[in-house]
Amino acid sequence: MSTKVEERTYEDAVSWLREHGFDLIEAPGTQNRVFLRKYNVSAAIQKTDDGGAKIFAYPGYQIGGEISKLVNKGYQQFLKTSKAEVPANADHLKSLHQFSEELKEALGIPSLYNESLGTVSESYQYDRIKDRDKPEVERPKRPWQAVKTKAAAAVKKSRA
DSSP secondary structure string for all residues of the chain: --------BHHHHHHHHHHTT-EEEEPTT-SSEEEEEETTEEEEEEE-TTSBEEEEEEEEEEETTEE-EEEE-SS-EEEE-SS-EEE--HHHHHHHHHHHHHHHHHHT----HHHHTS---SEE--TTTTTTTS-GGGSPPPHHHHHHHHHHHHHHHHH-
Mean of all residue pLDDT scores within the chain: 78
Domain range summary for the chain, segments of one domain joined by +: 10-129
pLDDT of residue 105: 84
- In the predicted model, what is the mean pLDDT of residues 51-78? 84
pLDDT computed for residue 145 by the predictor: 72
How confident is the model at residue 1, as a pLDDT?
Answer: 45
User: Full-prediction pTM beyond 0.75?
Assistant: no
Q: What percent of the chain has pLDDT over 90?
A: 2
Residue 42 pLDDT greater than 70, yes or no: yes
